Amino acid sequence: MIETVTQLKRLRALVRSWKKEGLRVALVPTMGNLHEGHFTLVRQARRHADKVVASVFVNPTQFGPNEDFDRYPRTPQADVTGLEAAGCDVAWMPDVEQMYPLGLDQVTTVSVNGEVAGVLEGERRPGHFDGVCTVVSRLFHQVGPDVALFGKKDYQQLAVIEQLVAELQFPLELVGVDIVREDDGLARSSRNQYLDEAERAAAPQLYRVLRQMRAACAAGLPHEMVQTSAAEALTEAGFVVDYAVVRRRDLGMAEDGIDQPRVALLAARIGNTRLIDNIEF
């Protein structure tokens, strides 16, 4: 039976009792409105630990003033049902007061410095990664997990959190879990439900373009050319492109003519919805 916990005191008592028994604890942080991508994280978590905590918290500090915090889908009951079916032990569902006890104007912000947080999403969504690192640090303090799992759809988020864990020396292991896709290739995301029928029909182009980028890189085309063609293809498909880039796995600039592990990343808007996706190769 899953337990839904809304008070930090109760959460800490539970984790303390598990640790006393020598059990390993996994954390799966989420913002709710859970889908197969999240449930895959929970199932993976079960393989890494004896007890699994999933947090469900739509974190206000990681949304910009013109972003979708208010309309972000909230489905707590379905989330708990799905978490239980996936094998989760505790749904940690704090309210804003439990997470930010002195109020949103008194938040101690945790901010990762350096290029990994400053490029791509960091450039387009100022303050976003500060909000993510702030809440993820709190979740690590609250739960004290031995292992924490994050989806690779937010590729840069995982890279930023890796730096956070290294720099603040959180004693835990990080696990990145592969992207879960629909049959037509669209990466699972809570934001997919914003798409109308025509937008939904166009959305799989993102993954098609990513595969083209991978193939073009494999054929040795210069990265600049790969990026330009990708942006053009997406624009033609009706997207407004934020970025279409090939980077090294650490998100540094990939040099031409070197066969090294890389990642292609896209962010693009269709209608009012901003989608991101990536592929490693």
Q: How far is the CB of 57 from ligand PAF (least distance, A)?
A: 6
Rg over CA atoms, the chain: 19
CB neighbour class for 268 (10 Å; exposed up to 12, middle 13-18, buried from 19): buried
Among 87, 76, 105, which residue's Cα sits nearest to residue 47?
A: 87
Closer residue to ligand PAF, CB minimum distance, 16 or 74: 74
Catalytic pick among 38, 48, 141, 223: 38
Q: Which residues pair with 92 in a beta bridge?
A: 5, 55
Task: Tell me, yes or no, if 38 is annotated catalytic.
Answer: yes
Min separation Cβ 223 and ligand PAF, Å: 27
Residue type, 258: I
Q: Considering beta carbons, is residue 69 or 238 the nearer one to ligand PAF? A: 69
Tokens of 177: 């879990």
Q: Which of residues 125-154 bind ligand PAF (CB under 6 A)?
A: 132, 135-136, 154
With CB under 6 A, what is the number of residues at the site for ligand PAF?
10
Alpha-carbon distances of 274 from 65, 114, 121, rounded to whole Å = 15, 25, 11
Report residue 35 as tokens: 């889908």
Minimal CA–CA distance to 44: which of 142, 189, 178?
Answer: 178
Q: Which of residues 34-63 bind ligand PAF (CB under 6 A)?
A: 59, 62
Report the residue number, 25 or 276, with the smaller CB distance to ligand PAF.
276
Distance, CA of 8 to CA of 129 (rounded, Å): 24
Min dist CB 122 to ligand PAF, Å, is 13
User: Candidates 24-32, 80-88, 163-171, 205-213 — which segment interacts with ligand PAF by CB under 6 A?
Assistant: 24-32
Minimum Å distance from CB 225 to ligand PAF?
32
Contact window for ligand PAF (CB under 6 A) among 12-20, 27-35, 102-110, 117-125: 27-35
**Neighbouring-strand partners of residue 264:** 246, 279
Least spacing, CB of residue 136 vs ligand PAF, in Å:
6
Is residue 163 at the binding interface for ligand PAF, with CB under 6 A as the rule?
no
* Lookup: tokens for 224: 């600049």
Q: Which residues are catalytically annotated? A: 38
> Applying CB under 6 A, which residues contact ligand PAF?
29-31, 59, 62, 132, 135-136, 154, 157
